[in-house]
């Protein structure tokens, strides 16, 4: 079995080697089409600032200005100093009010090697984000040891697989659902084998995860077709329509792909927990019958089911909390809310994932029973 898996990995590497080159060219093409580059700069001083001014007379305009003196930290004009104007609309809830010493990001426009303009984009936030990521890796390795390090590697490979393989293939016009299923299978096999090793416990976890994820995806497709969802309920998807430069994309397929990927983590957690527990019981009592082993697996699954279903649904609720507050503040009725495309999409996303999670429990139990040695009791 190990030889077969190694051979499949080798074949996959050869098959995808040419695609990865094409994906590199794809990203290069996308970047070269942009009219600007993003550069970092430090604010040296703010010579003029009327943001905090207090006036006794009525203000006719809610526009305020900052003139900021900045020094470019990277790019073709690194080290050069400029003074820019930051326009602040006081009515806008998200207004960028800058302070001395901050690092900011700029759009840099240049033509034929000459600088044509600079525009303030956003504060630089990558340093605290990278610090949090490093803290996450540190605690994962500190507490998990060798397995924690393996878990981090699998997480990194999962992110790279989605960003550098799945997303470019979808943008190139490939059907999202088959590509997502292949990606899910690859991520599941890679994660469980690396963390749990190549053994029957891992085989059961892999098959249970794949079955549960496919059930969630199939259910989402059926309900979405029945309710006539088109996958255009979110602002992100609408922005994708305008930003795809006329490319034809399967937006409903992208919606289903998001549902499948969103359910994968929770389903994988349930499947590997059930599989690991059942094989531990089997190793302690070789004479346990299939019925008793399956019953123990179901008892374990019932305990996991409630917590993981709450985890999955609360994750979706948390990401949509601001939207829920908007509905409540405008006092929309229940039927108005539930029939909105974006709300129906989130309900299908959470419920389909939860059903896939629940059904992955008996699926994993069945696989474990089928993988038991022949000399075990029936």
Residue 8 has pLDDT above 60, yes or no: no
Residue 215: Cβ within 10 Å count:
20
Question: Which tops the pLDDT comparison, 378 or 329?
Answer: 329
117 and 82 in contact (C-beta within 8 Å)?
Answer: no
Question: Which tops the pLDDT comparison, 27 or 165?
Answer: 165
> Is the C-alpha dihedral spanning 80, 83, 85, 86 positive or negative?
positive
Q: What is the pLDDT of residues 288-311, one digit of tens each?
A: 899 999 999 999 998 888 777 787
Give the mean pLDDT of the chain: 80
Alpha-carbon distance of 234 to 232, in angstroms, equals: 6
Q: What is the pLDDT of residues 206-244, one digit of tens each?
A: 999 999 998 888 888 888 777 777 666 666 776 777 766
Alpha-carbon distance of 305 to 295, in angstroms, equals: 15
Alpha-carbon distance of 61 to 59, in angstroms, equals: 6
Structure confidence at residue 25 (pLDDT): 52
Distances, alpha carbon 114 to alpha carbons 55, 78, 83, 109, 118, in Å: 42, 13, 17, 9, 12
Structure confidence at residue 233 (pLDDT): 63
Share of the chain above pLDDT 70, in %: 81
Structure confidence at residue 59 (pLDDT): 44
Domains of the chain: 1-33 (no CATH), 37-52+60-124 (2.40.50), 197-371 (no CATH)
Residue 61 pLDDT level (bands cut at 50, 70, 90): low
Structure confidence at residue 54 (pLDDT): 43
pTM of the model: 0.74
């Amino acid at each position: 079995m190990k030889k077969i898996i190694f051979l499949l990995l080798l074949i996959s590497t050869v098959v995808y080697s040419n695609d990865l080159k094409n994906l590199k060219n794809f990203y290069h093409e996308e970047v070269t089409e942009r009219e600007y580059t993003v550069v970092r700069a430090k604010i040296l001083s703010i010579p003029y600032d009327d943001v905090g001014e207090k006036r006794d007379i009525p203000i006719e305009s809610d526009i305020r200005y900052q003139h900021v003196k900045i020094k470019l930290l990277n790019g073709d004009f690194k080290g050069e100093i400029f003074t820019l104007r930051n326009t602040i609309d006081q009515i806008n809830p998200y207004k960028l009010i800058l302070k001395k010493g901050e690092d900011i990001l700029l759009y840099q426009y240049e033509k034929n090697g000459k600088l044509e303009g600079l525009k303030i984009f956003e504060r630089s936030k990558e340093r605290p984000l990278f610090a949090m990521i490093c803290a996450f890796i540190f605690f994962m390795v500190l507490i998990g040891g060798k397995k924690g390090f393996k878990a981090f590697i699998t997480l990194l490979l999962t992110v790279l697989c989605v960003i550098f393989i799945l997303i470019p293939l979808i943008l190139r016009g490939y059907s999202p659902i088959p590509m997502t299923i292949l990606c899910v299978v690859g991520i599941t096999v890679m994660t469980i084998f690396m963390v749990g090793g190549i053994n029957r416990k891992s085989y059961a976890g892999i098959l249970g995860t794949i079955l549960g994820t496919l059930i969630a995806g199939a259910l989402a497709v059926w309900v979405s077709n029945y309710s006539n969802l088109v996958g255009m309920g979110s602002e992100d998807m609408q922005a994708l329509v305008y930003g795809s430069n006329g490319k034809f994309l399967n937006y409903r397929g992208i919606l289903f792909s998001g549902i499948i990927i969103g359910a994968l983590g929770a389903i994988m957690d349930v499947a590997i927990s059930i599989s690991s527990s059942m094989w531990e019981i089997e190793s302690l009592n070789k004479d346990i019958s299939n019925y008793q082993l399956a019953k123990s697996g179901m008892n374990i699954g019932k305990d996991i089911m409630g917590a993981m279903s709450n985890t999955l649904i609360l994750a979706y609720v948390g990401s949509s909390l601001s939207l829920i507050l908007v509905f409540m503040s405008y006092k929309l009725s229940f039927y108005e809310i539930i029939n909105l495309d974006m709300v129906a999409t989130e309900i299908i996303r959470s419920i389909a994932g939860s059903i896939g999670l629940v059904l992955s429990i008996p699926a994993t139990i069945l696989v474990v029973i089928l993988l038991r040695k022949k000399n075990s009791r029936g």
